[in-house]
Structure 1
Amino acid sequence: MRRLVSFESRRQPVVSRTVFYGRLARNALYSLGFVSVSLFAGACGYIYFENMRLVDAFANASMILASMGPLTPLMTDGGKIFASLYAIFSGLLLIGISSLMLAPVFHRILHRFHVDEHDTDPPRRKR
């Protein structure tokens, strides 16, 4: 089974800039996909629970996804519960997207610190 995200190990050299930029682009595409699906789900939720028009539902979903809050007041109890859960989901998604986008950068920085120029460490024994 192929891993979704794979990085080089400590014993391998730091990858080239081309591979690094490819990782950044791949993670940006994943992030864009997550945001698009979340925006679609949010707009569908507003249409279903609040009976909003498509444009208003899209605007409200994008505002909550951007952590700014809804544009129009919510009228139904179902819409209020949906908006609350969607806001919590959006906050967690923000953290996840940030982590996904910064993972290649942090890995490259940490890998540079840990890569051995001349591997002089003796092999470790298993206990």
Structure 2
Amino acid sequence: MIKPPGVKRLPHRKHFAASLLRNVIAASLMLIFSLTIGTTGYVYFFRIGWVDGFYNASMILTGMGPVDTPISESGKIFASFYAIYSGVAFLTCVAVIFAPVLHRFLHKFRLDVEQ
């Protein structure tokens, strides 16, 4: 098959799989970090147990909404900032996971994007 000038070959599937695995690990670490911040904050500011703190943090991080209502001013401030952070963090993790898939898709159509 004759290759047009200036068109690169599609990277091997092993390269794609390695890139996807690397990004899934990075996104997982970001989610674990975010859950750790949220759980610790909920335990400290809301004076609840670790399981309840983890439950609250995971519900906020995934966009489901708060479970417990904060009663202190510091709890309200923490919950507000954690909700804002969680929205950005979750969308960033989704983008990091799908970046290699989109990159592979663009390569399929010969739209080269610098890495």
Deviations 1:20-52 (A, max 9, x none): 111111111111100001000001111111111
Question: In the alignment, what sits opposite 1:59?
Answer: 55
Q: Which runs of 5+ in 1 are unaligned?
A: 1-9, 117-127
Alpha-carbon distance change, 115 to 79 in structure 1, aligned in 2, over 3 angstroms:
closer
| Over 4 Å off, 4+ runs | none
Equivalent of 2:30 in 30, 34, 40: 34
Question: In the alignment, what sits opposite 1:103?
Answer: 99
**CA root-mean-square deviation:** 1.7
Question: In the alignment, what sits opposite 2:16?
Answer: 20
Question: In the alignment, what sits opposite 1:86?
Answer: 82
Q: Is the CA contact (8 Å cut-off) linking 2:31 and 2:90 kept in structure 1?
A: no
Question: In the alignment, what sits opposite 1:76?
Answer: 72
Distance 1:107 1:50 in 2: 43
Q: Which structure shows the bigger proportion of residues in helix conformation? A: 2
Distance 2:109 2:43 in 1: 50
Equivalent residues, number: 107
Corresponding residue SS for 1:114: coil
Q: Is the CA contact (8 Å cut-off) linking 2:56 and 2:67 kept in structure 1?
A: yes
Q: Is the CA contact (8 Å cut-off) linking 1:14 and 1:115 kept in structure 2?
A: no
Q: Provide the identity percentage.
A: 41
Distance 1:70 1:55 in 2: 15
Q: Is the CA contact (8 Å cut-off) linking 2:8 and 2:110 kept in structure 1?
A: no
Point out the structure with max Rg over C-alpha: 1
